[in-house]
């Protein structure tokens, strides 16, 4: 099983989201093998859009096996007087996954480990699977996270998915140094696109990918997943 987690970051309008969904579902509907791979759990797709677009996407894909929604972040607070926050409690039932500690959150919003561990705890409390991002094997991660994603900031693209991807050797050596528990899934993120995904995809040590820029275009994203 491979996971393709799309992180749309702060992109798209509502009509662009509807267009993306229409185009992606047309591609799926015209490709039996792709649908089969999703139905048989060989592939899982998780879209993490800006929060306002979670519900329209969920409605569009609710009957599609293997297709899930995720949040790009969640609040460190559980509930209450925190204007503007989106909490795990708010997200419960709307998303199955959440990204925690993405390099852009750490850098632009000064999120530290203590905050990120609190977020993980809240996500787990509300039954949301956690994708915990790290930039190196020296950073720590919560022992109960479902996924660890190695997303080194120097490999993250400026938005087109065309930066410098890390070598497979480096990705695997980070995995060894992280000493993950056998049930924890390991993802890589940083300039993965339809042209370079193949050798990473076939490696059984990598459970999937976190994809920014190249997931914004439905045909590039489809091609990356289904060839
Ligand atoms: P990118 O983003 O695919 O645009 O490099 C990846 C990420 O943010 O992890």
**72-129 per-position pLDDT tens digit:** 999 999 999 999 999 999 999 999 999 999 999 999 999 999 999 999 999 999 999 9
Nearest to 56 by CA among 88, 97, 9, 12: 12
Q: Which atom of ligand 1 is nearest to the CA of 193?
A: 3
| Whether the Cβ atoms of residue 63 and residue 41 lie closer than 8 Å to each other | no
Q: How far apart are the C-alpha atoms of 58 and 93, rounded to whole Å?
A: 11
From first to last of the 227 residues of the chain, give the pLDDT tens digit.
999 999 999 999 999 999 999 999 999 999 999 999 998 989 999 999 999 999 999 999 999 999 999 999 999 999 999 999 999 999 999 999 999 999 999 999 999 999 999 999 999 999 999 999 999 999 999 999 999 999 999 999 999 999 999 999 999 999 999 999 999 999 999 999 999 999 999 999 999 999 999 999 999 999 999 98
213 lines ligand 1 (CB under 6 A): yes
Reduce the secondary structure of 21-44 to three states and give it as a string.
HHHHHHHHHCCHHHHHHHHCCCEE
Structure token pair of residue 181:
């528990």
What pLDDT score was predicted for residue 166?
A: 97
Taking the CA atoms of 79, 85, 88 and 90 in sequence, report the sign of the dihedral they define.
positive
- The whole-number pLDDT of residue 190 equals 98
Positions of E strands within 23-87: 43-48, 67-71
CB 71 within 8 A of CB 182: no
DSSP letter for each residue of 111-152: --HHHHHHHHHHHHHTT-EEEEEESSTTS---TT-SEEEE--
CA of 72 to the centre of ligand 1 (A): 12
Q: What pLDDT is attached to residue 90?
A: 98
pLDDT of residue 27: 97
Mean pLDDT for the chain overall = 97
- The region that residue 84 occupies, defined by phi over 0 for left and psi between -120 and 50 for alpha, beta otherwise, is left
Chain position carrying tokens 């972040």: 73
Q: Which pLDDT score, from 0 to 100, does residue 10 have? A: 98
Query: Which pLDDT value is given to residue 144?
Result: 95
| Substitution site in 3, 4, 5, 7 for ligand 1 pocket (most atoms within 8 Å of beta carbon) | 7
- The first and second tokens of residue 109, run together, are 């919003």
Percent of the chain at pLDDT exceeding 90: 99
What count of other Cβ atoms lies within 10 Å of the Cβ of residue 82? 12
Q: Please name the residue whose Cα sits nearest to atom 1 of ligand 1.
A: 212
Q: How far is CA 168 from CA 70, 171, 173, 197, in A?
A: 26, 5, 9, 11
């Amino acid at each position: 099983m491979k996971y393709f987690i799309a992180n749309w970051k702060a992109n798209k309008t509502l009509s662009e989201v509807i267009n993306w969904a229409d185009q992606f579902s047309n591609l799926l509907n015209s490709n039996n093998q792709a649908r089969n791979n999703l139905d048989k759990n060989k592939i899982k797709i998780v879209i993490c859009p800006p929060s306002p677009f979670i519900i329209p996407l969920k409605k569009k894909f609710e009957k599609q096996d293997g297709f899930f929604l995720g949040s790009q972040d969640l609040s460190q607070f559980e509930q209450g007087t925190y204007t503007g926050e989106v909490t795990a409690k708010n997200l419960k039932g709307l998303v199955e996954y959440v990204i925690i500690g993405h390099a852009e959150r750490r850098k632009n919003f000064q999120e530290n480990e203590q905050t990120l561990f609190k977020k993980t705890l809240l996500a787990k409390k509300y039954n949301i699977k956690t994708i915990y991002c790290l930039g190196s094997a020296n950073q720590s991660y919560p022992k109960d996270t479902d996924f660890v994603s190695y997303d080194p900031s120097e490999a993250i693209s400026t938005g087109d998915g065309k930066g410098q991807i890390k070598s497979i050797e480096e990705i695997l050596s980070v995995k060894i140094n992280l000493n993950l528990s056998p049930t924890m899934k390991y993802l890589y993120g940083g300039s993965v696109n339809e042209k370079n995904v193949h050798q990473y995809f076939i490696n059984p040590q990598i459970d999937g990918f976190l994809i920014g820029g190249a997931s914004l275009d439905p045909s590039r994203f489809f091609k990356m997943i289904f060839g």
